[in-house]
Amino acid sequence: MAGRRPARDELARFATEDPQAIDDVLPAPGHPLRLLIVGINPGLWTAAVNAPFAYPGNRFWPSLHRAGLTDHVIDATTGLRPEDEARLVGRGIGITNLVGRATAKASELSREELRAGGTALVARVAELRPAMVALAGVTAFRVAFGQPRARMGEQDATLIPDWPHGVPLWVVPQPSGLNAHETVDSLAARWREVWDAIGG
């Protein structure tokens, strides 16, 4: 369905048990991965167009641009254009999800799914060795990694069993429009903090 906006009545069929509803955005092997951005899980619109944070109105892409991580506001509502993906990976930015299954809302994920996603992410980070990981969603982070008091910002990664040594871990706000506590400006400030921490 990539290449056009899905109709509302088409979205429900993307709520499947598929453990990998969308493709990751990652540099080719051997190319540097400076920042691995981790979403919670794909929404139905995102699964329909196979592009991260694709739902119209999601503030991820505007905030990334305002923070200076992209040179324009990427429009992923009909899919991620190859040239936009190339620019992202060219800057060393990759995107994956904590849980691969698509749902209408992240709150539909079980605690068991989130914990399993946390375990899988540890293994993925050990494989990819990014310079930094930033997970978008503090509530999901708390459940996935058994850190009930975790706050936004840099985490003490030594508290996470088997987390790869030397890979900083940050938590940033969930950019969905459902997160009324944040604006594009406040999200951009978080992304700028992360990007500055790895040398911008």
Closest among 11, 17, 1, 8 to 113, alpha carbons compared: 17
What type of residue is 83? E
Helix and strand counts by DSSP (H, E) for the chain: 6, 5
CB 174 within 8 A of CB 142: no
What is the residue whose two structure tokens read 């997970």?
135
* pLDDT class of 75 with cuts at 50, 70, 90: very high
The residue-averaged pLDDT of 81-108 equals 94
CA distance linking residue 52 with residue 173, whole number of Å: 16
Distance, CA of 149 to CA of 186 (rounded, Å): 21
pTM attached to this predicted model: 0.93
* Dihedral-angle region of residue 192 (phi above 0 means left; psi in -120 to 50 means alpha; beta otherwise): alpha
Looking at the domain that runs over 8-197, which CATH code has it been given?
Answer: 3.40.470.10
Higher pLDDT, 98 or 107: 98
Sequence ranges of the domains in the chain: 8-197
pLDDT given at position 91: 95
CA torsion sign for 98, 102, 104, 107 is negative
Sheet with 93-97, side-by-side order of all strands: 93-97, 35-39, 132-136, 169-172, 153-154
Which of 3-12, 20-29, 145-154, 184-193 shows the lowest per-residue confidence on average (mean pLDDT)?
3-12
Q: What is the pLDDT of residues 157-192, one digit of tens each?
A: 999 999 999 999 999 999 976 667 889 999 999 999
- Whole-number Å distance between alpha carbons of 156 and 146: 13
Per residue in 115-128, pLDDT (tens digit) is: 999 999 999 999 99
In this structure, are residues 87 and 27 in contact, taking their beta carbons and an 8 Å threshold?
no
Mean pLDDT estimate for the chain:
92
Bin 58: left if φ > 0, else alpha if -120 < ψ < 50, else beta: beta
pLDDT at 1: 41
